[in-house]
Chain A
């Protein structure tokens, strides 16, 4: 069965510090992995997906199939990065359904 694990409920860092939000998954096939973000009082929105191999707002994430991980990283955190971050998986056989992790709240302190 598919499962996404985000081990940290809360992550606090100081502005300018590096940040890494952890995501591990279990899936026997070839998954698509995504990061979604929800800023305070805003809607859930897509941040990035592994297929694109892009950097959005300074964030990157690399899919590591050996470790079944898709950690989200940013070298220098900004206060405006404070938000809830959700890692999500989409299975290759059913691309209409996302499996979300329980989320990590990132708090960037000034």
Chain B
């Protein structure tokens, strides 16, 4: 596609409910990233994939958070037993490169706004 696509755009979940957020990166982009952006804050890194391999998951806040990218394209971020503190915008980004030299290929999606009530 032309850009990074995220769905749904908005999600309201009851506390304790499981949610799944989807990211469709730009076709052929090797690297995929998830960030969490709480209200009034900047994005915070959650996890990074290179193709289907999850190379860094150091930012996942708890074991309730799980991300996968089984075929190296679409990625899903799953949150189990959602809590109110999980309310945030979840941003996905993809890049055509894997190295340090390039950052212009780092394209963000519009995000999914998750509200836990």
| A residues at B contact (CB < 8 Å) | 4, 6, 9, 32, 34, 43-46, 49, 86, 88, 94-103
Contacts and interface: CB of A to CB of B under 8 A. Distances in A.
B1 interface: no
Contact of A49 (B42, B55, B103, B109): B103
A44 B91 contact: yes
A94 to B, nearest CB: 7
Contact of A102 (B35, B41, B107): B41
Contact of B100 (A6, A43, A95, A98): A95
Interface size class, chain B: 20 to 34
Contacts of B33: 96
Given A34-B103, A49-B103, 12 more contacts: A6-B42, A43-B4, A43-B107, A46-B104, A86-B42, A96-B33, A96-B55, A97-B45, A98-B45, A100-B44, A102-B41, A103-B42
B39 to A, nearest CB: 11
Contacts of A102: 40-42
Contacts of B43: 44, 86, 98, 100
A46 B35 CA distance: 15
Interface in B77-117: 91, 99-100, 103-104, 106-111
B56 interface: yes
Q: Which label, helix, strand, loop or mixed, suits the secondary structure of the B interface?
A: loop
Contacts of A101: 42
11 contacts: A32-B100, A43-B4, A49-B103, A86-B42, A96-B55, A96-B56, A97-B59, A98-B45, A99-B45, A101-B42, A103-B41
A96 B42 contact: no
B65 interface: no
A86 B44 CA distance: 12
B88 to A, nearest CB: 13
A46 B109 CA distance: 13
B31 A96 contact: yes
Given A43-B108, A94-B56, A100 B31 contact: no
